[in-house]
Structure 1
Amino acid sequence: MIDKQQTIQNFAQNAQDTGSTRVQIALLTARINNLSVHLGTNKKDKAGQRGLQLLNGQRRRLLKYLERTNYDEYIALTDQLKIRRGQRIVR
């Protein structure tokens, strides 16, 4: 089980920060990791697999936004959460 308040405190930029992109990505990552463990033991949980795909898509969109707007923070966050980075978007 994830400790939501602890995750928010670890990734918040100040005491009032509960919904920044950085915090949202950290919370999604915790939920994804928790659901992945569950699906490892419950292989036939199709609803759980769909939920995992939806969470991954949401996290991917947030990471893409963070990469576009603040690349240095994107690099630091992916390193801290141990998330693989995609190819850099050059526009």
Structure 2
Amino acid sequence: MIDKKQIIGEHAKDSSDTGSTAVQVALLTARINNLSVHLGTNKKDKAGQRGLQLLNGQRRRLLKYLERTDYDGYIALTDKLGIRRGQRIVR
């Protein structure tokens, strides 16, 4: 089980920050990791697989936003969470 308060404390900018992009990505990453372990033992859980795909899509969108708005924060967060980075968006 994930400890939300601990994750929020590690990634928050200040004591009242509970919804910044970095915190949301960290919470989604914890849920994704937890669900991945579950799906490793329950291979036929199709609803769980769909939920994992939805969580991955949400995290991907948040990471894309963070990459556009705060590239240094994006690099730091992906390194800290161990998330692979995609190609950099150049516009």
Per the alignment, residue 55 of structure 1 pairs with 55
Show the counterpart of 1:29: 29
Counterpart position of 1:72: 72
Between the aligned partners of 1:22 and 1:71, the Cα distance in structure 2 is 12
Q: Which residue of 1 aligns with 2:85?
A: 85
| Structure 1 runs (4+) greater than 3 angstroms displaced | none
Offset of residue 69 of structure 1:
0.3
Please report how far the alpha carbon of residue 78 of structure 1 lies from its aligned counterpart in structure 2 after TM superposition. Answer: 0.1
Structure-2 separation of matches of 1:67 and 1:81: 15
Please state whether the residue corresponding to 2:26 is helix, strand or coil. Answer: helix
Cα deviation, residue 32, structure 1: 0.1
Distance 1:58 1:79 in 2: 19
CA distance in 2 between partners of 1:72 and 1:51 (Å): 30
Partner of 2:3: 3
> What is the rounded CA distance, in whole Å, between the counterparts of 1:5 and 1:76 in structure 2?
20
Mark the runs of 5 or more structure 2 residues left unpaired by the alignment: none
Provide structure 1 residue ranges, at least 5 long, that are not aligned to the other structure.
none
Shift of 1:2: 0.4
Distance 1:54 1:33 in 2: 13
Number of matched residues? 91
Per-residue CA deviations over 1:12-53 (Å, capped at 9, x if unaligned) read 000000000000000000000000000000000000000000
Look up the equivalent residue of 1:47 and give its one-letter code: A
Task: Give % identity.
Answer: 84
